[in-house]
Amino acid sequence: MRNQRQLSPAAVPVRRERGSSSLHGRMSILIGAILAVCAVTVATSGGTFALWNSQAAVSPATVTAGSLSLTISNQSLGGLATKLLPGTSVLGSYEVGYTGGSSANLVAAVAVNTSTPTGMASAVTLTITPSTTTCTAGMTGGVSGKLNAFGPTAAVVLPATTTEAKTRYCMELKLDAAAGNELQNGTSTFTVTYTATQRIP
């Protein structure tokens, strides 16, 4: 037989398939994939989680504001129609009623609407006096002032009340004893206004 010549291992050609990679290459890809997975895991671990919660509501409630109410009633002003002479007076009366959820300060003020001649309003003195008796000229304990310079008066305290509380007032208008002739047939019209203002505790 013919002796066949054996090739040494170094001389044996190694066939590599196209597209194959070395172990080192495969390890690099594997490590890269692991790092990528780790990066994704770290990134998602800091995300937002849903927080559980529970709610309960108080039953619907109603808030109601209080009120203050002031009324003028039982006016008896017919006597004011009597013509004044120097030094004489005319009288009238009325009641002021108050209802309120809090105490209040009551003040009165006068506004002269017309005065003919102009000096008429400054020649008449108005006196307002709380009274439960018959109104008479010269009553004391009230507040006085010229018609054109009356009030606001000092505050009167009204207590809180759910039932209307009334106070009767007498009104006296007196023409000055020294009123001049130019005031003959003079007239003045005026309005007395009461204001109740809530007192702050």
Whether 140 maps to a domain, the answer reads yes
The pLDDT mean for the chain works out to 85
Does residue 12 surpass a pLDDT of 50? Answer: no
Spatial CB neighbours of 192, under 8 Å, sequence gap ≥ 6: 108, 109, 110, 128, 171
What is the structure's pLDDT at 72? 97
Tell me how far apart the alpha carbons of residues 37 and 35 are, in angstroms, rounded to a whole number. Answer: 5
Whether 102 maps to a domain, the answer reads yes
Tell me how far apart the alpha carbons of residues 114 and 188 are, in angstroms, rounded to a whole number. Answer: 5
Question: Tokens 């304990």 appear where?
Answer: 141
Q: What is the pTM of this model?
A: 0.70
Whether 18 maps to a domain, the answer reads no
Tell me how far apart the alpha carbons of residues 18 and 151 are, in angstroms, rounded to a whole number. Answer: 116
Provide the domain count of the chain: 1
Using CB atoms within 10 Å of the CB of residue 97, give its burial: 0 to 12 exposed, 13 to 18 middle, 19+ buried: middle
Whether 145 maps to a domain, the answer reads yes
Whether 23 maps to a domain, the answer reads no
Percent of the chain with pLDDT over 70: 76
Tell me how far apart the alpha carbons of residues 84 and 27 are, in angstroms, rounded to a whole number. Answer: 125
pLDDT digits (tens, 9 = 90+) for 154-197: 999 999 999 999 999 999 999 999 999 999 999 999 999 999 99
Whether 28 maps to a domain, the answer reads no
Amino acid at residue number 26: R
Range of the domain at 141: 68-198
Whether 181 maps to a domain, the answer reads yes
Region 71-93: mean pLDDT is: 95
Tell me how far apart the alpha carbons of residues 45 and 122 are, in angstroms, rounded to a whole number. Answer: 91
Whether 40 maps to a domain, the answer reads no
Supply the CATH number for residue 135's domain.
Answer: 2.60.40
